[in-house]
Structure 1
Amino acid sequence: MQVLDNERHPDAEAGKDGNRQAGSLYDLIPANPQNAKPAGEWNTAEIKVYKGSVWHIQNGETILEYHLWTPEWNNLVAGSKFPALNPDWANVASEGYIGLQDHGDDVWYRNVQIREL
């Protein structure tokens, strides 16, 4: 789930149809609706994953749903830049690590919780 200042970061205008804006599945699927609050205000975010189904919930609203390991998922990834980086990228692990990444800009998190469904 992309965390981004849509108003100030140039990546918000890159990609296709807003697929690099806050809440999106980076460079693959745009958030709809785009309901991110501006920098300086707190956004809430949840990612729910259950049996290959994934929901992005931003500010209390489901903004994205997709399904891993399906033909649609495989086609989506195959048409992206990711196979060039890792040919096995579509085969997302069913368990592993959770990471938070930034590119040098200020970002704050609070009340981070991880629960098994």
Structure 2
Amino acid sequence: MLKQTLLIALFAGISYAGAQTKFQPQDTEFYEPVPPVVKTSRTAAPSDAIVLFDGSNLNEWVSEKDGKSPAAWTVQGQVLTVKPGTGGIVTKKNFEDFQLHVEWKSPEVIKGEGQGRGNSGIFLQGKYEIQVLDNDDNKTYTNGQAGSIYKQQPPLAEARKQEDGWHTYDILYTAPRFNSNGILIKRGMVTVIHNGVLVQYNSELQGTTEYIGLPKMVAHGAGPIAIQDHGDLVSFRNIWIRELK
């Protein structure tokens, strides 16, 4: 209806503004598709989310080293804490495009400096790291501080910890796409909100986040969420994910 009206207006030499007057309100209203209902709460994950950690167990995770379940990290008082030396943990399930919520806290005892203080990381599809680090008065390279896409993109701002010491990451992720020959046809994109502050905005992934050297473009499909064991007692809670389709 809209397209036909505009074409008629153009061919008749009528201005768009004039054509607008011929519309009725219902001409630009539609009732399908109907969005699904998602119930929300201040104290729980959205109703359509997959809960990856709610404080009770590590049933959704395995050890990155040997694939054993449950993973060896410590669960106490509804909090998950890195057990140094045991290696990272990865989700049993693989994901593509998603909304990910993670809450994390630096170790209670402050020690070390730079990358040696409260270091961990959230890996999207097991390949692209959003850095976790104790930033407070801790100088390091800016593309390695909390909120950065590690060694690629510094955050737009440094969001300090909240009053209770817990940080929140809300991550919106669009996975890269590759054709059947493994050639990149669309770069991955990441938006990160850190403690309510936008720190990555549609940032394009240049490839894997490497500690040494340049990013590598590796063709892949869906992949897990991984959390890094960097040897520090970083804690996590309230981890959930919403698949976007």
Shared fold by TM > 0.5? yes
1:17-70 CA-partner distances (Å, limit 9, x unpaired): x111101011111111111317x60010022113532111101122013124xx
Task: Select which of 210, 216, 220 maps to 1:93.
Answer: 220
Q: Secondary structure at the match of 1:2?
A: strand
Q: Which runs of 5+ in 2 are unaligned?
A: 1-129, 176-187
- Tell me which residue corresponds to 2:158: 34
Deviation at 1:115, TM superposition (A): 1.3
1:1-117 correspondence to structure 2 within 5 Å:
1-7=130-136, 12-13=139-140, 15=141, 18-37=142-161, 41-50=165-174, 52-65=188-201, 66-68=203-205, 73=206, 81-83=213-215, 89-91=216-218, 93-117=220-244
Give the share of equivalent positions with the same residue, in percent: 38
- TM-score w.r.t. the length of structure 2 is 0.36
* Residues 91, 59 of structure 1: alpha-carbon distance in 2 compared, 3 angstrom cutoff: same
Q: Secondary structure at the match of 2:192?
A: strand
Q: Which runs of 5+ in 1 are unaligned?
A: 84-88
Two-structure CA RMSD over aligned residues (Å): 2.6
Query: Matched residues in 2 for 1:92 and 1:37: separation?
Result: 36
- TM-score w.r.t. the length of structure 1 is 0.69
Which amino acid in the other structure matches residue 136 of structure 2?
E
Q: Relative to total residues, which structure has the larger strand share, 1 or 2?
A: 2
Give the paired residue count.
99
Give the number of the structure whose alpha-carbon radius of gyration is greater: 2
